[in-house]
Amino acid sequence: MAIKDLALAVLPLLAVVAAWCAASVFDLVPGYLLPSPAAVFDAGWRYVWGPAGQGPYAGRFAGDLAASLSRVLLGFSLAVVVGIPLGICSGRLATVDRLAAGMVGGLRAVPGICWLPLALIWFGIGLKTTVFLVALAAFFPIYQNALTGARMAPPIYFQAGAMLGVSGARSVFAILLPLAMPNIVTGLRLGMGISWAYLVLGELTGVPDGLGAAIMDARMAGQTDLILAGIVLIALIGRGCDCLLVLLVRCLCKSARRQG
């Protein structure tokens, strides 16, 4: 059964790759628009493993990855540090909710990309602009899901806690956060996903390093194979970050580990 499920999951992917192979073997699409899978793999391989000097991009990967990861993690962490406490407070305290709701709702109506010109003026090209865009974009799903989780927490659990001697501030950590945990995890995963989207956006603006910068450079040089390789790499790394995030939260919080 598991093998069948796996086969079903892989089948569409194989079909796409097969169509792609056919397109390049029979020369249906010119190579500068869609290079062959082998060329893309080759470009990717040299980008990741090739010794420096063996081509324009060889050996850049480690530096690009470090730059991109640090931007994502920095922006994402900022969004978590502000989003979760503010969301939890808004979910439980009517005054905080009223104070925050208008502001957050207004900001959310602004498409994230609109901030780019302003961010470039404020922060210039580089780390700060990207981190700002990532933090802003990741904030909304994290805040909103934490808020929903906190608001939906059934009062009976707080009554149960109170009669067992756990109330007030202690109940926040012992009861409220565990109850809201499934929503918090959803918010974190959505936030992580959108972080990668805005990372690439921030890196397309002419920063010297980063995965987004690498594919933008490849466009200048007309290296479609490296663009495609970069896209695949960003997808894989984004997926990897999602898995690591889930694993990390499960290690840290019992309540994320087991809720049926």
Partner 1 sequence: MAGEPILELVDLSHYFIHNGQADSVLRHLGLTVGRGELVCLIGRSGSGKSTLLNIVAGFLKPSQGQCLLDGRAVGRPGPDRAMVFQEDALFPWLTVRENVAFGLGGDGWPRERRQREVERLLALVGLAGYGDHLPHALSGGMKQRVALARVLIRSPRLLLMDEPFAALDAQTREEMQELLLGLSYRRQSILFVTHDVGEAVALADRVLLLDRASGAIGAEWAIDLARSRDRNGEGFQRLCARIHRRLRREPADAGPSDVRP
- CA atoms of 186 and 145, how far apart (whole Å): 7
Class of residue 30 by CB neighbours under 10 A (exposed 0-12, middle 13-18, buried 19+): exposed
Residue with tokens 């990372």: 199
Out of 162, 243, 244, 252, which residue is the one contacting partner 1 (CB under 8 A)? 162
- CA atoms of 157 and 177, how far apart (whole Å): 12
Q: Which is nearer to partner 1, 219 or 257 (CB)?
A: 257
User: Is residue 33 near partner 1 by the rule CB under 8 A?
Assistant: no
- Number of residues in contact with partner 1 under rule CB under 8 A: 22
**Element at 103 (helix H, strand E):** helix 94-108
User: Is residue 159 near partner 1 by the rule CB under 8 A?
Assistant: yes
- CA atoms of 137 and 66, how far apart (whole Å): 21
User: Is residue 94 near partner 1 by the rule CB under 8 A?
Assistant: no
Of the listed pieces 21-29, 38-46, 68-76, 174-182, which binds partner 1 according to CB under 8 A?
174-182
Q: What angle do CA 78, 172, 244 make, to 5 degrees?
A: 45
Picking from 127, 133, 82, the residue whose alpha carbon sits closest to that of residue 103 is 82
Of the listed pieces 43-51, 161-169, 186-194, 225-233, which binds partner 1 according to CB under 8 A?
161-169
- Is there a contact between 48 and 233 (Cβ–Cβ < 8 Å)? yes
Out of 25, 114, 163, 169, which residue is the one contacting partner 1 (CB under 8 A)? 163
Q: Which is nearer to partner 1, 170 or 219 (CB)?
A: 170
Q: Which is nearer to partner 1, 37 or 178 (CB)?
A: 178
User: Is residue 156 near partner 1 by the rule CB under 8 A?
Assistant: yes
Q: Name the token pair of 76.
A: 């994402």
User: Is residue 58 near partner 1 by the rule CB under 8 A?
Assistant: no
Out of 157, 172, 190, 242, which residue is the one contacting partner 1 (CB under 8 A)? 157
Out of 166, 190, 231, 237, which residue is the one contacting partner 1 (CB under 8 A)? 166
Q: Name the token pair of 152.
A: 């939906």
Of the listed pieces 18-26, 60-68, 166-174, 199-207, which binds partner 1 according to CB under 8 A?
166-174
Strand, helix or coil for residue 35: coil
User: Is residue 186 near partner 1 by the rule CB under 8 A?
Assistant: no
Binding site for partner 1 (CB under 8 A): 156-157, 159-167, 170, 174-175, 178, 181, 254-255, 257-260
